[in-house]
Amino acid sequence: MNIHTIFGAGGAVADQLLPVLLSNNEKVRLVSRNAKPVAGAEAVSADATNYRQTLEAIKGSSVVYLLIGLQYDIRVWRAQWPVIMTNVMNACKETGAKLIFFDNVYMYGKVNGWMTEETPFNPCSKKGEVRAAIATQLLQETKAGNLQALIARSADFYGPVGFKTSMPNILVISNLVKGKKAQWLADADQPHSLTYVPDAAKALYLLAKKETAFDQTWHLPTAPDLLTGRQFVQQAAAAMQKPNGISTIPGWMLTVAGLFIRTLKELKEMNYQNEYPYLFSSNKFNKAFGFTPTSYSEGIKETVAWALKVQQ
């Protein structure tokens, strides 16, 4: 069988990848803890912390996309991520499936300059330490020749993908749609790279179909322009014909709010990403695949159009 299996069905990236796979006439299996029927795809319920369930869900797959998004809680990450990575890798080894791991940039820590695939792991957060450990685990298994795998890494993302996991969507787009003032974390005048999720989804499929792309790390296509939080707000506000005022959320406010709201407490240690320039280069991918990332102006317009439609 030649099945493309998505672990983490229903998430922001998975929901963008599914139509890409279906439009290319791929057989698709969607795996999540509570699988829901989706037209054109097979839905399977499985818990990735359970090896037997993981193995059964992967059998018959040619490619597995590990797109799971765990609860944003370091206690959950420490307990579950190593188990999930081990289970998925072992199931891929047992079945011969290739593995694509969708990763973030937490393991790099604070970087002075552009982040590239060659940037060393130097985490400065607890969550970064967890991501560094599981990425290293996968890289070691791949280098040893035990399985075919690649890491596809994304910057913070935005796009027509909901209001649960994208900070620009939550703080800017959602607030503007509701008639509220846009917000930004820490410093709105620092340049901050953002990956447009539909581009990331297209890129995952391109990587899956290119044999020589495996056993490598790839940064997913991201517009190279230097865009600040304030400029993101200005473009989004203009697209909605709304005031472009912005309020920043300082670190001390996250500390105080974190006493009552767990997610805000968890965000505090990652605030360095908004206090300093956050520059993510996808030149390697762009050149290898002749890919031009969606510009911020176009991506913001598409996201705004989607958000306004959702509101209606």
Give the tens place of pLDDT for each residue, 96-105. 999 999 999 9
- 1 vs 180, residue with greater confidence: 180
Pairing of strands 279-280, 114-115: parallel
Side-chain half-sphere exposure of 16, counting CA atoms within 13 A = 19
Helix, strand, coil shares, percent, the chain, to 5 = 45, 20, 35
CATH number, domain with residue 57: 3.40.50.720
Tell me, what's the pLDDT at 59? 97
Tell me, what's the pLDDT at 257? 65
Tell me, what's the pLDDT at 266? 82
Give the tens place of pLDDT for each residue, 117-176. 999 999 999 999 999 999 999 999 999 999 999 999 999 999 999 888 899 999 999 999
Tell me, what's the pLDDT at 258? 58
288 and 168, same structural domain?
yes
Q: In which domain, by residue range, is 189 found?
A: 159-193+225-311
The pLDDT > 90 percentage for the chain reads 88
Side-chain half-sphere exposure of 284, counting CA atoms within 13 A = 16
Tell me, what's the pLDDT at 259? 64
301 and 173, same structural domain?
yes
Cα end-to-end distance, the chain, whole Å: 42
172 and 201, same structural domain?
no
* Residue labelled with tokens 């209606």: 312
214 and 299, same structural domain?
no
Tell me, what's the pLDDT at 264? 76
Tell me, what's the pLDDT at 165? 87
Cα–Cα distance measured from residue 119 to residue 111, given in angstroms and rounded to the nearest whole number: 8
State how many domains the chain has.
2
89 and 171, same structural domain?
no
Tell me, what's the pLDDT at 253? 77
151 and 43, same structural domain?
yes
